[in-house]
Amino acid sequence: MARLKIYSTGTCPICENTKSLLKKWHIPYDEARVDVDRAQLKEMAEVTHGARTVPQIVIDGKWIGGFSDLTELHMDGKLDELIQA
């Protein structure tokens, strides 16, 4: 089980961009498809305090936000800290 989880759908281009970046950065992740699994949708709503858009990214059970939040953490050098902690 990866420490990073991405909640996504099969039709979301930003989700695909997010997964591509994670692969490029060699960060393993688990994907939860909220469009095909209602339990994952419910879990996403609980973890994110009601977020309705995808992607939503969680590291070690802590919600960090979406694509722009992920890239901002990476640019600030804080993503590596979260992943390596």
Q: Which domains does the chain have, with CATH numbers?
A: 1-58 (3.40.30.10)
The yes-or-no verdict on residue 62 having pLDDT over 90 is yes
The yes-or-no verdict on residue 85 having pLDDT over 80 is no
**Cβ(51)–Cβ(27) under 8 Å?**
no
As a whole-number percent, the residues of the chain with pLDDT over 70 amount to 98
Per-residue model confidence as pLDDT tens digits over 16-48: 999 999 999 999 999 999 999 999 999 999 999
In DSSP terms, 7 is beta-bridged to: 32, 56
> What is the model's pLDDT at position 58?
97
